[in-house]
Amino acid sequence: MSRIGKLPVSVPKNVNVELTGQEIKVKGPHGELLHTIPSEIEVSLNEDKVIVNKRIESRIARQKYGLTRALINNMVIGVSEKFERRLQMIGVGYRSQVSGKTLTLSVGFSHPVVFEAPKDIEIKVEANTNIIISGPDKEKVGLLASQIRAVRPPEPYKGKGIRYLDEYVLRKAGKSGK
């Protein structure tokens, strides 16, 4: 039995959970998220807890059991607290600026790189080199952060590039001269 799947998801007072058929809707102060539950999984709502169970005993049901519980937990945390990813730009002349929902990066290319934030996702820039991405959907926040990082991943010799704030970049020694 899944150790994650059997744990109930506790729902805070400021979050509202609705079950309609195989869809779960979670509303909170930071937004609203919707998720379709797989047919092998059954979800029930008891007072301030969401309980996930398997309908049938199969390999696929076991795989989706813990996953569904984790996704519902992430939805509850996201609408109540928001998820956040921080990026840091290191390099001479590397700058970023945000206007509305558009992030513009100057990272050494002949053209600026432009990112449009999806709805519910908020982008902030601190000191032109630190980017903060936040929103209720953990998957969208992480995806946007990884797409921004992929523009100029950190290189191992000088450490230049875009990295997560808590990321450790393994440094290599350069060529030794004669």
What does residue 140 show for φ and ψ, rounded to 5 degrees? -65, -40
Q: Where are the domains of the chain?
A: 9-81, 83-164
Q: Is 83-164 a domain of CATH 3.40.309.10?
A: no
- Kindly tell me if the per-residue pLDDT of 133 is higher than 90: yes
CB burial string 104-138: b at 16+ within 10 A, e below: ebbbeeeeeeebebeebbebebeeeeebbbbbbbb
Q: 1 pLDDT exceeds 60?
A: no
Cα 79 to chain centroid, rounded: 13
CA-CA distance, 72 to 34, in Å (whole number)? 10
DSSP readout, 2-31? -TTTTSPEE--TT-EEEEETTEEEEEETTE
CB 134 within 8 A of CB 83: yes
User: Quick one: pLDDT band at residue 177, thresholds 50, 70, 90?
Assistant: low
Q: What is the reported pTM?
A: 0.87
User: Does the pLDDT of residue 87 top 90, yes or no?
Assistant: yes
CATH topology of domain 9-81: Outer Surface Protein A; domain 3 (3.90.930)
Identical fold between 9-81 and 83-164 = yes
Please, what is the average pLDDT of the chain?
89
Q: Is 106 helix (H, G, I), strand (E, B) or coil?
A: strand
56 pLDDT more than 90: no
